[in-house]
Amino acid sequence: MLINVSTVGVSLYLAFELTMKFKTDEDDSSQESMTGLPYNLVLGLLIILALLMSFVGKFFSNRIFMKINENLHNRMVRRVLNARLRFFEENTSGTILNRFSKDIATLDIIVFNFLEMIDYILKCAYSVILIIFLVPWLLVVIFFVLIYLMRLRRLCLLSTRDPIRLKFSLVSPV
């Protein structure tokens, strides 16, 4: 989220500054030499701030990911260690270890995909809010596009339901 805010901030600043630069070039070219340095300094600071926010955002998302995985791993280890002795008699240590490693890999993928999904949802929501804030009449267009997408989704679900059932029936054991 911080990455998106900083990127949009830099983009808006660049658009504003380029617009102002073209306006001042037409009006008076002597002003450019006086105002060029502070604008470049502010632009450089914004770029550095955007990179710093990007690093901080990735750092915190990595910390969250690692903490979630550590908690899940600890819970799994606790459950295996508290299992009854019969469980260890029925399953070899290799089977337990393979199952444990597969479960950890699956959890890593699920947690990573979940965090990525949240990141994309926030990016999309932020972009839509910004666009609606800048151009409010697009709400009408968005409304009609959502109606169209809902109808298209219903049509796709109806047309893909039978092939998916057939696929699962062919893959399932006889």
Q: Which of 19, 111, 115, 116 is nearest to 72 (CA)?
A: 111
The pLDDT, as a whole number, for residue 173 is 66
Ranges of residues in the chain with a pLDDT under 70 are: 1-37, 39-40, 42-43, 46-47, 50, 172-174
Which residues 6+ apart lie within 8 Å of 26 measured at CB?
none
Taking the C-alpha atoms of residue 16 and residue 37, their distance in angstroms, rounded to an integer, is: 16
- Buried b vs exposed e over 79-114: b needs ≥16 C-beta within 10 Å? eeeeeeeeeeeeeeeeeeeeeeeeeeeeeeeebeee
pLDDT at 148: 94
Residue 34's pLDDT is what? 46
Residues 133, 86 contacting (CB under 8 angstroms): no
